[in-house]
Amino acid sequence: MENAKRIFDAFLCAKGLRHTDQRDIILDAFLGMEGHFSAEEIYRIVSEKNPEIGYATVYRTIKLLCDAGIARGIYFDDGRMRYEHKYGHGHHDHLVCIRCGKVIEIFDPQIEKAQDRLAKEKGFVPIRHQLNIFGVCKECRKRNK
Ligand SMILES: [Zn+2]
Ligand SMILES: [Zn+2]
């Protein structure tokens, strides 16, 4: 957590951006949230204690956190990006429930390897990827019976 702050400081400095209290508060709030959140959800948490911070500031700061490698944005098919911790978290992919919005993290070295192999066969050098599987979670399936 302290490291993430130092990385963000160095990033702002390198970009010639000012280190502001508001950015600090947003970073703290984000680091304190475990999971996958939309910018609106992060804004709601931040503004509960800090109503002076506007949505635009939260949104811009999240973008900076992504650029700094602290956050990662995940594209979900409801059109809203979700953000999760990237720094200190290993690569993983996601199962996304289209009913309740739950996100389950998955990782399988064989799938990772297969993706690399498929890319290589096409002469393609992969830099990053996202694998999101959309469906209905166990709890939602039970609820529907
Ligand atoms: Zn569900
Ligand atoms: Zn995740």
Per-residue pLDDT of the chain (145 residues; tens, 9 = 90+): 679 999 999 999 999 998 899 999 999 999 999 999 999 999 999 999 999 999 999 999 999 999 999 999 998 877 789 999 998 888 999 999 999 989 999 999 999 999 999 999 999 999 889 899 999 999 999 987 6
User: Per residue in 9-35, is it b (16+ CB within 10 Å) or e — as a string?
Assistant: eebbeeeeeeeeeebebbbebbbebee
| Residue ranges near ligand 2 (ion) with Cβ within 5 Å | 84, 105
- Domain identity same for 80 and 97: no
- Domain identity same for 100 and 139: yes
- Domain identity same for 47 and 116: no
What domain count does the chain have?
2
Which ligand sits nearest to residue 99's alpha carbon? 1
**H or E segment at 129?**
none
Chain length of the chain: 145
Question: What was the pLDDT predicted at 121?
Answer: 97
CA–centroid distance, 24 to ligand 2, in Å, is 23
pTM: 0.84
Domain that holds residue 128: 93-143
Which ligand sits nearest to residue 107's alpha carbon? 2
Question: What was the pLDDT predicted at 40?
Answer: 95
- Domain identity same for 139 and 80: no
- Domain identity same for 8 and 76: yes
